[in-house]
Amino acid sequence: MKLGLFGINMASCAQPGDLVTVATAAEAAGFDSVWAGEHVVLPDPQVPPSPMAPQDPALDPLLALGWAASVTTTVRLATGIVILPQRNPVVLAKQAATLDVLSGGRLTLGVGVGYLEPEFRAIGANFEARGLVTDEFLDAMSSLWYDEHPAHHGRFVDFSAVDAHPRPVQRPLPIVVGGHSGAAFRRAVARGHGWYGVALTPDQAVGAVAGLGRAAGEVDRPGGLGALEVTVTPRGRLTAPDAEAFAEAGVHRLVPIASRTTDRALAAIEDAAAIVAGL
């Protein structure tokens, strides 16, 4: 079982010194990755399904991971997730390639379609077609990363006769798809190196793995993607029985939440490392 830490850009980790403390502690404890979530803006006042209060601090995930990259050497830097249809794919391709280069090939780009309509409205992004936008943006970014002469002509993005260097160090750059819907499962199988589920119980993880299995019968998976890696952020505090149950469900990586204070985040790192070591 691999271990990651979620929230490296949120709560107390939104402060530069605390981010450094927590990221280096996770690396020293043997965690394979640190994960940064994304909300550019939040509804004010908070209304369902918004997961955070509008005053809760959240740094831009790529910038926060760049800060973490500067003080670590081995831990992977993962977005969990970037809300892809809210981004400009040409700009995001450049940002992701830059972070991969500066970190020596340690970026894992987690993407999702998003679900907060007020956030999309504030950004001017297409909420109704966000699934289609996500798929097209992934294609456009792939062309910019890997094609000798990048080009894409689609409904939502159109470019040609351009190029962008440096390219990512990793070929391919790992893509993780977040989301709990059938469409997200199919997208993960068809396009992702991994799938990421947030705030799951072990029983929900069982259901998600089953959903991914059904999706594998509905869409083709390119051979170059390899086996699909399943990553889960547990709901609530991680316990040893839950860790065992997640492992039995087919989860490959657990990514507990860092907690709201630095002291608690450090304690959560120690606890999770001990739990996983005992599996």
CB 113 within 8 A of CB 131: yes
Distances in Å between the alpha carbon of 146 and those of 97, 111, 170? Answer: 11, 19, 10
Q: Model pTM?
A: 0.97
pLDDT (average), residues 9-29: 98
> What element of type H or E holds 107?
strand 107-112
Q: How confident is the model over 61-117, as pLDDT tens digits?
A: 999 999 999 999 999 999 999 999 999 999 999 999 999 999 999 999 999 999 999
Q: Backbone phi, then psi, for 26, in 5-degree steps?
A: -65, -45
Q: What share of the chain is helix, strand, coil (3-state, %, to 5)?
A: 45, 15, 40
CATH architecture of 2-277: Alpha-Beta Barrel (3.20)
Q: How confident is the model over 149-180, as pLDDT tens digits?
A: 999 999 999 999 999 999 999 999 999 999 99
